[in-house]
Amino acid sequence: MSNAVELRGVDCRATRTFAIRDLSLNVPAGSVYGFLGPNGSGKTTTIRLCLGLLRPSRGDITVIGGVMPKEAPRVLARTGYVPEQPHLDPTLTVAETTRFHAAFFPHWDRRWAERLGGTFDLPPDQIFGRLSKGQKGKLMMLLALAQRPELLVLDEPTDGLDPVVRRDLLGALLDYVSEQRATVFISSHLVHELERICDWVGVMDDGRLVAELPMEAFKNGIKRLRVANPPAQAPDAPFVVLAREPGGNGSETWLVRGWQPEMAAYCAAAGGALREVVDLDLEEGFVELLRTFRAPRA
């Protein structure tokens, strides 16, 4: 199994005003896949489709070898899930919540759950409803990890948490991935946070997948080029030209994807001159991708 999660041509009408349209997505097995996008772009809807909580009107979904939602019980038994909003009984204590959750998973690791509880400094007798937001986030991560899942699906798991709590949660996550070689599908709009932990990235906007590529290609392959005497057309360019904007003295600024240093000779061969290659950090690349994706429809 090369991909832990596959979507093929998926459509889903989530609300009267929003829909997922023709979505195809691949999460390689053993990867940490960062699912980026602004709020309302369709990240949570996509996750719910993957977990069988929503049914597509068209297309196919396969998760760790099982067809969803048809094989949801078998798939979900091997999947850890941290939703965007707390979903646990507010009247149970941390210890009661942990025991209740453990009863549903045959591979539950009681010792590791206890160790994580100590690492996260979770008071076992504290009622869930009285925990801080950071403590609730830690408990939900503990419950997902102690299942010993093959796949972890995390929907904005650190949103609104302070930097210390985010560090603790991501540290536990990376330790588990390193030990178990599990797959992680993590959605977020915190670009720099995912840059540190992900090896693949997908970008969503308005219910569509804008881009999907390895993190290194995302970080290093999106550039801004300053081109003098640019050719009128660039159909044979070895990179993808996302946007062209006029500059001074007949020059242009090109936003390109898939850049490699050896491609610098292309502009001269096309009759122009490459004056500058400007690196973009991950957040700039993310913003530029969204901007150029939206531009034709604006």
Q: Above 50 in pLDDT, residue 216?
A: yes
Give bridge partners of residue 61 from the DSSP assignment: 7, 68
Confidence (pLDDT) at 186? 96
Q: Which of these, 213, 179, 157, 161, lies nearest to 43 by C-alpha position?
A: 157
Residue-wise pLDDT tens digits, 161-185: 888 888 888 888 988 988 888 999 9
| Residue in the block written with tokens 């986030």 | 137
- Give the chain's mean pLDDT: 91
Residue-wise pLDDT tens digits, 246-283: 888 889 999 898 888 889 889 888 888 999 999 888 88
Residue-wise pLDDT tens digits, 9-56: 999 998 888 999 999 999 999 999 999 998 899 999 999 999 999 999
Q: Above 90 in pLDDT, residue 296?
A: no
CA within 13 Å, CB half, 35: 27
Burial string for 156-178 (b: 16+ CB within 10 Å, else e) reads bbbbebeeebbebbbebbeebbe
Length of the chain: 298
Q: Cα–chain-centroid distance for residue 138?
A: 20
Distances (CA, A) of 239 to 22, 236, 264, 293: 25, 9, 10, 17
Look at 285 and 75; give whichever has higher pLDDT: 75
Confidence (pLDDT) at 248? 80
